[in-house]
Amino acid sequence: MTLTQKILARHAGLDRVEPGQIINANVDLVLANELSAAVAIGVMRGMKGADRVFDANKIALVEDHFVPAKDAQSAKLAKLMKDFATEQKIKHFFDVGRGGIEHVVLPEEGLVAPGEVIVGGDSHTCTYGAFGAFATGMGSTDIAAAFVLGEVWLKVPATIKIVYSGTLKNHVYAKDLMLRTVGELGIDGATYRAIEYHGSTVDALSITGRITMANMAIEAGAKNGIFHADEKTIAYVQERTDRPFMVERADSDAIYERVIAIDVDDLEPQIACPHTPDNVHPISQVTREDIPLDQVFIGSCTNGYIEDLRVVAKILQGKRISPNVRVIVNPGSQKVWMQAAEEGILTILAAAGCAVNTPGCGACFGGHMGTLGDGERALSTTNRNYVGRMGSPKSEVYLSSPATCAASALTGIITDPRVVDAALV
Amino acid sequence: MESTLRGHVHKFGKNVDTDVIIPGKYCNIIDPAELGKHALEGIDPEYTARMKAGDIIVADTNFGCGSSREVAPIAIKGSGTSAVIAKSFARIFYRNALNIGLPIFESSEAVDGIESGDEIELEPATGVIRNVTRGTSYQAAQFPPFMQSLIDAGGLVPYVEKRLAEASR
């Protein structure tokens, strides 16, 4: 069995499960944000006999989409979730200023561990595959069912194995690797499938790098994207929780639907051009023409981690961003924000001319705190660039790594970070 | 099971994503009728002005890709659209549509044989799609047996209620 099959079989109480099989799986954690929770709570209120959640310690509720509340309607949804958390005695409730973006917060708080099954009312719940967990996004009615039953029905996915080899060059990152992967698979290339990441390249990645890659599995349509837990994973998790967990491994005779090999030795920084995340090109092809930018955004559940901010600060230190562009930085969580403050990163960014915002999802999905207007163009470290994703349907979004965003912030046009770095030396 | 659905077709292409079905800025709305006023706004701002109650969306592959926002199918339903036919659906949208009671039909042949403005009839119980304008008919893919049993039971909510009732016995 593949890693995904192994985890699902155990959570369904079965010896074996096969792709296509429908199972009921016990869940270790159910996640929602104020948008998905508001709808889920409404559904749960309408369910006969559903007075209590299945386990108040196995639900995480994070205020992150329209925070700090954009308007009275957003505040209403936030309050609805907070009141529900109080009523149900939900232990893991994160208000503004104590949490941040759900997918950044949950690992930080030790709420994600290898071998677990996690479902969330957000498509980027697949992020936790970075830790060797089965994690997938669902809509609010499914989340309401999981709130009360503590289990979900799932169709066991077939698995696509991707084997990465080679060493990433300077200023080529996990984000570039994943953009390349989404470009190769296509935005529906892994629909109903699991992606299992393998190879020496990803073994060498940090936890943050693996988070970036698992996060964007949904951009290929995948149900989940998963890494095997290793010493790095176990050390990260054990620093944050003493909860027991079981590390699963794919069997040596596991059957994969497809195996894809990607060699990264010659990989350049990658750019996803408008208007789909699989419209991916090496940066040398994109920078043949100068592409002027109105906004650079650095943050999100894909790239809002301290490691990302360190890369950005290193490029922007002692510099001023281009007068033609505004740069918005959202540290992914309160903890990332505090760490960045302690390391002097926030000061470096502010001195360079960046606006540093409260942790949250708003800018990424065109909610608030950095919405694009008609005719504007952004380069962003986020995960989606569909029409209107970050605001006006007449705006354009390009996706890249934090390093490419930082280099482009200095020039005001899409710029290869290797060029900027060479100029610094 | 629902009776026959009948309406005129509005045809869209591939990869109609949830950001264009209901742009992010409306995702703090939970009232279906209010959401319905903005259905498909990101791809076709005139859709809700042009369409009539009962009309049907026909689209190519990977309809509903992107976010898990359940307000996407809720907005389509709230607009008065009676069903969506597509060559394929994104995974989360598919579950959400069934969970909130938006009828969906998968058929490549039907999508290829139907144009914008055609009048069509749908039988949710059997998956039969009839193009009244062109006199053709198609059979949508069957739902997997487990999903069909959920649909027959009235959806996920009655299923959960039944489970809770059994557990409390």
The one-character DSSP state at B24 is G
User: Between A122, A153, A387, which is nearest B43 by CB?
Assistant: A387
Which residues of chain A does B146 touch, with a Cβ-Cβ cutoff of 8 Å? Answer: 22, 153
Q: Is A388–B100 a contact, with Cβ atoms under 8 angstroms apart?
A: no
Q: Is A36–B28 a contact, with Cβ atoms under 8 angstroms apart?
A: no
Six-digit token pair at B107? 């058929």
CA angle A218, A100, A116 (to 5 degrees): 50
Q: Is A366–B19 a contact, with Cβ atoms under 8 angstroms apart?
A: yes
A 345-384 residues with CB < 8 A to B = 365-368, 371, 384
Query: How far apart, in whole angstroms, are the C-alpha atoms of residue A299 and residue A405?
Result: 10
Residue pointed to by tokens 């209107």:
A388
Query: How far apart, in whole angstroms, are the C-alpha atoms of residue A253 and residue A161?
Result: 13
Query: How far apart, in whole angstroms, are the C-alpha atoms of residue B78 and residue B63?
Result: 18
Which residues of chain A does B74 touch, with a Cβ-Cβ cutoff of 8 Å? Answer: 39
A 123-152 residues with CB < 8 A to B = 123, 125, 137-142, 144-145, 148-149
Which residues of chain B does A138 touch, with a Cβ-Cβ cutoff of 8 Å? Answer: 68, 92, 95
Which residues of chain B does A395 touch, with a Cβ-Cβ cutoff of 8 Å? Answer: none
H or E segment at B155?
none
Q: Is A47–B68 a contact, with Cβ atoms under 8 angstroms apart?
A: no
* A417 close contact with B: CB closer than 8 A: no
For each of the domains in chain B, give its residue range(s) and CATH number, in order of start.
5-167 (3.20.19.10)
Which residues of chain B does A35 touch, with a Cβ-Cβ cutoff of 8 Å? Answer: 27-28, 69, 71
Which residues of chain B does A70 touch, with a Cβ-Cβ cutoff of 8 Å? Answer: 28
Look at residue B135 and give its three-state secondary structure: coil
The ipTM assigned to this model is 0.96
Q: How many CB atoms lie within 10 A of CB B145?
A: 9
H or E segment at B51?
none
Nearest CA in chain B to A137: B68
| Minimal CA separation from A21 to chain B, in Å | 10
Q: Is B19–A39 a contact, with Cβ atoms under 8 angstroms apart?
A: no
Q: Is B164–A49 a contact, with Cβ atoms under 8 angstroms apart?
A: yes
SS3 track for chain A:
CCHHHHHHHHHHCCCCCCCCCEEEEECCEEEEEHHHHHHHHHHHHCCCCCCCCCCCCCEEEECCCCCCCCCHHHHHHHHHHHHHHHHHCCCEEECCCCCECHHHHHHHCCCCCCCCEEEECCHHHHHHHHHCCEEEECCHHHHHHHHHHCEEEEECCEEEEEEEECCCCCCCCHHHHHHHHHHHHCCCCCCCEEEEEECHHHHCCCHHHHHHHHHHHHHHCCCEEECCCCHHHHHHHHCCCCCCCCCCCCCCCCCCCEEEEEECCCCCCEEECCCCCCCEEEHHHHCCCCCECCEEEECHHHHCCHHHHHHHHHHHCCCCCCCCCEEEECCCEHHHHHHHHHCCHHHHHHHHCCEECCCCCCCCCCCCCCCECCCCEEEECCCCCCCCCCECCCCEEEECCHHHHHHHHHHCECCCHHHHHHHHC
* B168 close contact with A: CB closer than 8 A: yes
Residue ranges in chain B whose pLDDT is less than 70: 1-2
* A297 close contact with B: CB closer than 8 A: no
User: Between B25, B45, B61, which is nearest A366 by CB?
Assistant: B25
* B106 close contact with A: CB closer than 8 A: no
The one-character DSSP state at B43 is T
Nearest to A136 by CA among A121, A145, A146, A126: A126
User: Between A35, A38, A187, which is nearest B62 by CB?
Assistant: A187
Which residues of chain A does B155 touch, with a Cβ-Cβ cutoff of 8 Å? Answer: 141
Nearest CA in chain A to B168: A49
> Distance between alpha carbon A276 and the CA centroid of its chain, in Å?
17
Nearest CA in chain A to B44: A393
Nearest to B70 by CA among A120, A102, A26: A120
Which residues of chain B does A33 touch, with a Cβ-Cβ cutoff of 8 Å? Answer: none
Positive or negative, the CA dihedral B5, B6, B10, B13 is positive
Six-digit token pair at A131? 């830790």
* A388 conformational bin, left if phi > 0, alpha if psi -120 to 50, beta if neither: left
Query: How far apart, in whole angstroms, are the C-alpha atoms of residue B83 and residue B66?
Result: 20
Rounded to 10°, the helix A34-45/B71-78 angle is 70
Q: Rounded to two decimals, what is the model's pTM?
A: 0.97
Nearest to A106 by CA among A256, A242, A211, A179: A211
Residue ranges in chain A whose pLDDT is less than 50: 425
| Minimal CA separation from A131 to chain B, in Å | 21
- CA dihedral of residues A331, A337, A341, A347 (deg, nearest 10): 30
pLDDT at B169: 80
Which residues of chain B does A66 touch, with a Cβ-Cβ cutoff of 8 Å? Answer: 28
Identify whether the C-beta of residue B69 lies closer than 8 Å to the C-beta of residue B30: no
Query: How far apart, in whole angstroms, are the C-alpha atoms of residue B64 and residue B159?
Result: 25
Which residues of chain A does B62 touch, with a Cβ-Cβ cutoff of 8 Å? Answer: 187-188, 191, 221
For each of the domains in chain A, give its residue range(s) and CATH number, in order of start.
3-262 (3.30.499.10), 270-424 (3.30.499.10)
* A277 close contact with B: CB closer than 8 A: no
pLDDT at A424: 60
Query: How far apart, in whole angstroms, are the C-alpha atoms of residue A160 and residue A223?
Result: 11
pLDDT at A425: 46
Which residues of chain B does A367 touch, with a Cβ-Cβ cutoff of 8 Å? Answer: 24-25, 27-28
Nearest to A221 by CA among B18, B76, B33, B113: B18
| Minimal CA separation from A299 to chain B, in Å | 17
